[in-house]
Amino acid sequence: MIRSLAIIVLFLATLSSALASIWVRHEARKLVQQLQALDEVRDELYEEWGRLQLEQATWGTHSRLEAIARKNLGMTVPRGEQAIVVSP
Residue 60: give the domain boundaries. Answer: 2-77
32 in a domain, yes or no?
Answer: yes
Q: Which helix (H) or strand (E) holds 12?
A: helix 2-59
Q: Is the pLDDT of residue 20 over 90?
A: yes
Give the pLDDT mean for 71-81.
Answer: 86
Q: Is the pLDDT of residue 88 over 90?
A: no
87 in a domain, yes or no?
Answer: no
CB 69 within 8 A of CB 75: yes
48 in a domain, yes or no?
Answer: yes
88 in a domain, yes or no?
Answer: no
85 in a domain, yes or no?
Answer: no
37 in a domain, yes or no?
Answer: yes
Number of Cβ within 10 Å of residue 53's Cβ equals 10
What is the tally of structural domains in the chain?
1
Q: Is the pLDDT of residue 79 over 90?
A: no
User: pLDDT (tens digit, 9 = 90+) per residue, 30-71?
Assistant: 999 999 999 999 999 999 999 999 998 888 888 888 888 889
The percentage of the chain sitting over the pLDDT mark of 90, rounded to a whole number, equals 61
82 in a domain, yes or no?
Answer: no
CB 57 within 8 A of CB 63: no
